[in-house]
Amino acid sequence: GATAYLVARRQPVRVTAGGLTVEVPAAWARQQQSAEWDLTPLGAAGRRGTALVVAGDVAGWRDPASTTPGVFVGVAPGVAATSLWAASVARGCPYTEQTRTLPGGLSGQVRRHDCPGSPTRLTEAVLTRPGSTDLVYVQVKEPVAEDGAAAVLDSVRAPVS
């Protein structure tokens, strides 16, 4: 009955597309979009990566002013980490930073941005695999009251050479 429904809503949903995999809360998994990612604005002219967005409402998630939670995962070959950080919508907000190694073998810097007055928190990661120059960029947007970004990050799997 109702208890089974509530438990099912809390179970993570695995989304896989274009070689990228991420697990998100069920409420976030209503929409997904997988596409090529134009890396030209990030300093890699003519290069393309693979990207996946998962959110309850993808259009709403893209609006920085919305509270729609979701996640972006993209592989960015030929892009410098500094370019990814400079392009962040939260680059002007205070953040805490840590180095993490995820269960899937990716490792790198994770920043948790808490913008004053914002109802959402942005967690971003620039990751790679030892011996690889390909970067994986992850951006998780969630309400300030939630704390699911670490679990979402831990679930990320991405093909990097």
Question: Which structure tokens are listed for 142?
Answer: 């969630």
Q: If 0-12 CB within 10 Å is exposed, 13-18 middle and 19+ buried, where does residue 38 land?
A: middle
Per-residue pLDDT at 68: 93
Nearest to 123 by CA among 141, 98, 104: 141
Cα–Cα distance for residue pair 146/121, rounded to 1 Å: 9
Nearest to 124 by CA among 106, 140, 136: 140
DSSP-assigned beta bridge partners for residue 33: 53
* 3 state SS of 60: helix
Cα–Cα distance for residue pair 66/81, rounded to 1 Å: 26
Per-residue pLDDT at 7: 42
Mean pLDDT, contiguous 10-residue spans, the chain (161 residues)? 45 87 92 92 92 94 89 94 94 94 94 92 94 93 91 92 70
* 3 state SS of 35: strand
pTM for the model: 0.90
Per-residue pLDDT at 97: 96
Per-residue pLDDT at 10: 58
DSSP string, 70-138: EEEEEEETT--HHHHHHT-TTTTS-EEEEEEE-TTS-EEEEEEE--TT-SEEEEEEEEE-TT---EEEE
Question: Which structure tokens are listed for 121?
Answer: 């928190």
Per-residue pLDDT at 139: 96
Per-residue pLDDT at 16: 86
